[in-house]
Amino acid sequence: MLLMTDFELECNEKRRPDEPDRTPAANVEDELLYLKEEFTLLEPNKNGTISLENIKATSMKNATNAMESHILDFFGSIS
């Protein structure tokens, strides 16, 4: 979710003020492409599902040293 927020902010910053608003259909296509990329990053199982373990592994893979203990605490509290 944080990545999506960053992506949206990035897109809004890149848009020039004189650029016309894009059509809703174009926005939906962009969002679907972005969600597909995010889904792939979570490394779904062979049956196409994402488990809590997938999310934990991806979080740990992309975490900094300072974040690791927080991630472990978070997943410890919800499992």
Domain ranges of the chain: 2-78
pLDDT value at residue 34: 92
**What pLDDT, in 10s, does the model give residues 10-67?**
555 555 555 566 666 778 888 999 999 999 999 999 999 999 999 999 999 988 998 9
Question: b vs e for 11-20, b when ≥16 Cβ sit within 10 Å of the residue's Cβ?
Answer: eeeeeeeeee
pLDDT value at residue 2: 45
